[in-house]
């Protein structure tokens, strides 16, 4: 039978060596990543709103397939261009300010898209939306290095990135149903923009750049965050300031190739998936929304599965980089086989199932966001993440236009699916070339002053 004294100890934590109950760590770091997760969900809802609404908008503005591809691509022009400057700003001013500003401004431009009068004005608002959203993912990668030990970074990376397919899933069904019920894509865009602006205020209120300055973090959680920190007095050779971007050229190049190829597959599915379901499979708007929900929910589940599997492999003794490369290469191979098989499938339901399998394994690519924190010094994580994301979104620029041109040239989607399978192959190739040398986190452990 428990004594009152034992019950008090259980409520507070375990016993320390001097017989006093220890403090249980708070969980603020996971609330931080929950907020980032919500921001990414809204980010993708705002992005996919145009893809879902494009069949209606194209008829209203009389847009050709090539012009549709250019408008869908325009988001990525400014988004990719501002990745490296955004990463530099994150390293200089901290992720909290940049995430807040980014969220507010992309909400403004999403709202302004509701007032577009034609293809050119819509293109302009999409470019501005891309510029505003550019720093979000690199800032999340920076938060990963500031708030999590290496043992938790796989989960941190996927909690951030799985918001992408989840946002696409929710956005696909919610936007489709809102378009049907409200009868106006303009009202839908305006509502999405106002919600985003409100989330900018929440970000400023709760996020912090330094865990020690957060009022709800206790010392036990700081100790957890500092679990693998190396004291520079014990590792003087690692105190030297990093040269350049802080990552070997070979590894950086391989990361850029792998991420760009992954992104061409993912953004191709995101931007042209609804049109494929409509034109190649004959789905109506409601069915497109339902199918999109299923496909991208599978992607969200895959993102989480990849992150937790990565942390499990590390916990069992496999090195971080080897675990990452094995999981990512496997995901690329399954994605390749899935897209290559689609032209031979006539049943629409089976096609949706295969696309769901592809999305599940493709979104293991979320753990790519572990690379900046593992390969780069903390002072370079933002710019390395920005460079990686620039490569990915350069692929995002190219793929909507290329797909539009392929459709116009061939009159169908079979060649597009083969193209996506080739992109998946390049994703595997780039990932396998990444070097295996990681850095140790150096610096004094973070404590309250």
Give the SS3 label for residue 347: coil
Whether the predicted pLDDT of 103 surpasses 60: yes
pTM given for the model:
0.67
Give the whole-angstrom CA distance, residue 186 versus residue 99: 26
Highest mean pLDDT among 6-10, 54-58, 435-439: 54-58
| Contacts of residue 117, Cβ cutoff 8 Å, sequence gap at least 6 | none
pLDDT of residue 1: 44
* 227 pLDDT higher than 80: no
Predicted confidence at residue 55, as pLDDT, reads 79
Is the pLDDT score of 54 beyond 60? yes
Separation of alpha carbons 274 and 339, rounded Å: 16
Confidence of residue 137 (pLDDT cuts 50, 70, 90): confident
pLDDT for 432 beyond 80: yes
- Residue 221 has a pLDDT of 76
Highest average pLDDT, of 296-300, 400-404, 420-424, comes from 420-424
Cβ atoms 52, 288 nearer than 8 A? yes
373 pLDDT higher than 80: no
135 confidence band (pLDDT: 50, 70, 90): confident
Q: Which of 3-12, 286-295, 367-376 has the lowest mean pLDDT?
A: 3-12
pLDDT of residue 264: 92
Reply yes or no on whether the pLDDT at 416 is more than 80: yes
Judged against a pLDDT cut of 50, whether residue 67 lies above it is answered with yes
User: Where is average pLDDT lowest: 5-14, 109-118, 205-214?
Assistant: 5-14
Q: Which of 7-21, 217-231, 340-354, 433-447 has the lowest mean pLDDT?
A: 7-21
Q: In CATH, which of 1.20.1250.20, 1.10.287.1080, 3.40.50.150, 3.60.70.12 is domain 27-209+248-432?
A: 1.20.1250.20
Domain residue spans of the chain: 27-209+248-432
Give the lowest-confidence range in 85-94, 187-196, 226-235, 280-289: 226-235
Residue 141, both tokens: 């990668």
DSSP codes, 139-183: HHHHHHHHH--TTTHHHHHHHHHTHHHHHHHHHHHHHHHHHHHH-
Residues forming a β-bridge with 21 = 15
Q: pLDDT at position 438, please? A: 55
Q: Which pLDDT tens digit goes with each residue over 316-359? A: 888 888 888 999 999 999 999 999 999 998 888 999 999 999 99
pLDDT at 238 over 70: no
Contacts for 392 with CB less than 8 Å, ≥ 6 apart: 259, 260, 262, 263
Query: Mean pLDDT in the chain?
Result: 80
From residue 387, alpha-carbon distances to 59, 132, 227, 342 in Å are 37, 17, 28, 33
């Amino acid at each position: 039978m428990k004594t009152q004294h034992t019950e008090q100890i259980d409520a507070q934590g375990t016993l320390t060596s001097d017989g006093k109950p220890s403090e249980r760590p708070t969980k603020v770091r996971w609330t931080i990543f929950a907020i980032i997760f919500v921001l990414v969900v809204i980010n993708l809802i705002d992005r996919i709103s145009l893809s879902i609404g494009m069949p209606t908008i194209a008829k209203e503005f009389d847009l050709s397939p090539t012009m549709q591809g250019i408008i869908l691509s325009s988001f990525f022009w400014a988004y990719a261009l501002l990745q490296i400057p955004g990463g530099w700003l994150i390293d200089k001013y901290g992720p909290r300010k940049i995430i807040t500003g980014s969220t507010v401004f992309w909400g403004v431009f999403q709202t302004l898209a509701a007032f577009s009068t034609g293809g050119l004005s819509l293109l302009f608002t999409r470019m501005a939306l891309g510029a505003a959203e550019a720093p979000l993912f690199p800032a999340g990668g920076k938060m990963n290095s500031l708030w999590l030990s290496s043992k938790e970074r796989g989960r941190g990376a996927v909690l951030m990135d799985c918001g992408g397919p989840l946002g696409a899933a929710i956005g696909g069904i919610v936007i489709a149903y809102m378009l049907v019920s409200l009868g106006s894509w303009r009202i839908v865009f305006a509502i999405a923009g106002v919600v985003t602006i409100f989330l900018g205020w929440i970000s400023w209120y709760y996020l912090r750049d330094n865990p020690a300055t957060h009022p709800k973090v206790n010392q036990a959680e700081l100790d957890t965050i500092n679990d693998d920190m190396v004291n520079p007095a014990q590792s003087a050779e690692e105190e030297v300031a990093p040269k350049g971007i802080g990552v070997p050229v070979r590894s950086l190049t391989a990361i850029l190739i792998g991420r760009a190829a992954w992104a061409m597959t993912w953004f191709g599915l995101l931007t042209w998936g609804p049109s494929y379901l409509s034109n190649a499979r004959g789905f109506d708007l409601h069915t497109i929304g339902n199918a999109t929900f299923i496909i991208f929910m599978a992607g969200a589940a895959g993102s989480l599965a990849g992150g937790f599997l990565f942390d499990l492999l590390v916990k069992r003794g496999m090195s971080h980089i080897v675990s990452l490369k094995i999981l990512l290469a496997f995901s690329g191979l399954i994605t390749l086989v899935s897209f290559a098989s689609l032209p031979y499938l006539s049943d629409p339901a089976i096609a949706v199932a295969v696309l769901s399998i592809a999305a599940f394994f493709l979104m293991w690519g979320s753990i790519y966001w572990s690379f900046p924190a593992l390969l780069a010094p903390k002072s370079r994580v933002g710019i390395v993440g920005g460079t990686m994301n620039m490569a990915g979104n350069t692929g995002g620029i190219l793929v909507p236009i290329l797909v539009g041109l392929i459709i116009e040239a061939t009159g169908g989607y079979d060649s597009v699916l083969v193209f996506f399978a080739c992109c998946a192959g390049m994703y595997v190739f780039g990932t396998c070339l990444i070097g295996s040398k990681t850095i140790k986190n150096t610096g004094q452990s973070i404590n309250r002053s």
